A and B are shown apart, each in its own frame.
Chain A
Amino acid sequence: MTDAPASILPSAVSGATASHWLRNHKAGIALALPAALVLIVLFIVPLAQLLSQSFKSDAGFSLHAYDRLLGDAYGRSLVWNSLRLGLVTTGITLAIGYPAAFGLALSKGALRSVFLASLFLPLAASVIAKAFAWTILLRSHGVINDVLIGLHLTDRPVRMIFTQTALIIGAANVFLPFMILPIYAVVAQIDARLTEAAATLGAPPVVAFLRVIVPLSLPGVIAGVALVFSLSVSAYVVPNLLMGENYPTLASTIAKAFLLARDPALGAAAGAVLMAIGLVVVVASSALARQSGSRRA
């Protein structure tokens, strides 16, 4: 893989117009080939193989694994649990992250550095450690309950750990940076003069914001929503540590099917369903991004 550039460059150097060479089709293909090969061999082929396995049984082709996964109430609850985790986490992180991204973009100097550090630092901390920290904060004699009792808001500990509230708090916490960063990257590039221009033309601030700024920020929102949804719909560590067995998802089914139960067909089917969800997100987000991009142009 890595010797491709070495074999390409000498012939390029010998040519008189080396940088023109970079524009050539054959060169383009040669440059893209190593990455494309890695993608095909290590990503597309294994996923296709997994997909085909999900249709396999002792008797050849069968939809048995899908029937077990989608045919009964428990199987459907797995799909619904995964989707609900993804949807609620995406909704909450968008509600917090959208204004926060503007807050970040409107800050300067030391404040901006502190904000950015608060986004990067959690990315660098292991998900495992963060999820475990939430179990400390949320448990019956944890920090949050101590504060609630101390403030006489409640006289006995509120049960939070191993509830869906805990799961959503933890998931929103782990995935929030992935919402704020893409929105910030787009919002920071919006020209402040646009709102001024809108104001000069007589638009009240709210209208200017809704008609000018919000549409311009959409590519960032699409990127953030796609990323957070696809990460949270398939999250494994967070539900595992904060809910344990109480919140079985497609992801935990995959892990159990392959690591414990030795039931590869069921695991592959659960994987295929998650894969389908992932594909929908990729296709939908790139279509939406293209649409909002063309509307802008």
Chain B
Amino acid sequence: MKISPFRLFAQIAMIGAALFLLAPLAVIAAASFSPTPVFDLPIGGASLRWYGAVGSLDGFWPALTLSLEIAALSTALSLILGTLAGIAIARGALPGAQTLSAALVSPLMMPGLVLGIALLQFFRSLGLTQAWPSLLLAHIVVTLPYVARTMIAALSRFDFAMLEAARTLGCNFFSAILRVMAPALAPAYFTAGLFAFLASMDNYPVSIFLTDAWTKTLPIKMLQYIDESPDPTIAALSTLLLVATVILLLIADRAVGLHRLAGMAE
């Protein structure tokens, strides 16, 4: 990798990619300061009034709360399920471990809309019509692949002999897990949790089939706002969500390091 023209070319490609990726985010942030009630780039002056208007968007707070609840709960449940399965797969004590690990990641390849209608019909055939439990169950399927992918990889690298060493040194089973395994796996947990949480928060195609008139997640509300009246309030809302993510990423960089986050996202 000492070939410097290659390195230069590759870095220019990455700079181009970064500008391309950030362009729409810059537009959103700029549009949120628009002085006019049109979702456009601000020309002549800036205004903060759309930030004030976010809170009074019709149905905004219930949608935000619902999305946060579903994302947090489904991520937590997926972390538990994914860790247990990951231990079984990593320990190699499981017949068909390869198949299971491929199967756990496969919902990622399944179109969201297909999963959405399949679950809608399945829940209806069981008589489950309430939106909240339907969304939670569906989002476990949405988040599980992200968790499984990261946790299986991390657990495969974890040296289980360390648990035995801790036992020999006088730890009981629980404290061995708590004091040896948990710190070693903390970065993986963080990465898996972050990606799963974001996937759930941003999910539209699965949720659209499972919501009802009163129970709508944030992405569904947002598309509805854009369809009804695309004013800069949506830009302000998106910018606020972006700022929240920047803060999360700063914490992630401190806790795990962004490059390890990317490495584990494989």
- By secondary structure, the A interface counts as helix
Of B45-53, B54-62, B84-92, which binds chain A? B84-92
B93 at the interface (CB under 8 A from A): yes
Note all chain B residues with C-beta closer than 8 A to A223.
266
Given known A36-B85, A36-B100, A258-B120, contact A42–B137 (CB-CB < 8 A):
yes
Note all chain A residues with C-beta closer than 8 A to B70.
none
- CB within 8 A of A23: which of B81, B91, B102, B265? B91
Note all chain A residues with C-beta closer than 8 A to B264.
185
Given known A96-B20, A119-B262, A126-B222, contact A282–B114 (CB-CB < 8 A):
no
Q: How far is the CA of A199 from the CA of B7 in the complex (A)?
A: 16
Q: How far is the CA of A173 from the CA of B28 in the complex (A)?
A: 14
* B interface size (C-beta, 8 A): 107
B109 at the interface (CB under 8 A from A): yes
With CB as the reference atom, state the residue of chain B lying closest to A36.
B100
Interface residues of B in 239-257 (CB under 8 A from A): 241-242, 245-246, 248-249, 253
Q: How far is the CA of A132 from the CA of B235 in the complex (A)?
A: 9
Note all chain A residues with C-beta closer than 8 A to B22.
118, 121-122
With CB as the reference atom, state the residue of chain A lying closest to B167.
A19
- CB within 8 A of A97: which of B17, B24, B167? B17
Q: How far is the CA of A173 from the CA of B84 in the complex (A)?
A: 36
Pairwise interchain contact A209-B160, C-beta atoms closer than 8 A: no
Given known A185-B263, A234-B113, contact A137–B10 (CB-CB < 8 A):
no
Which residues of B are interface residues toward A (Cβ below 8 A)?
A: 1-3, 6-7, 9-18, 20-25, 27-28, 31, 39-41, 77, 80-82, 84-85, 87-89, 91-95, 97, 100, 102-104, 106-115, 117-122, 125, 137-138, 140-141, 144, 148, 160, 163-164, 167, 172-174, 176, 198, 202, 204-205, 208-209, 218-219, 222-223, 226, 230, 234-235, 238, 241-242, 245-246, 248-249, 253, 258-259, 261-266
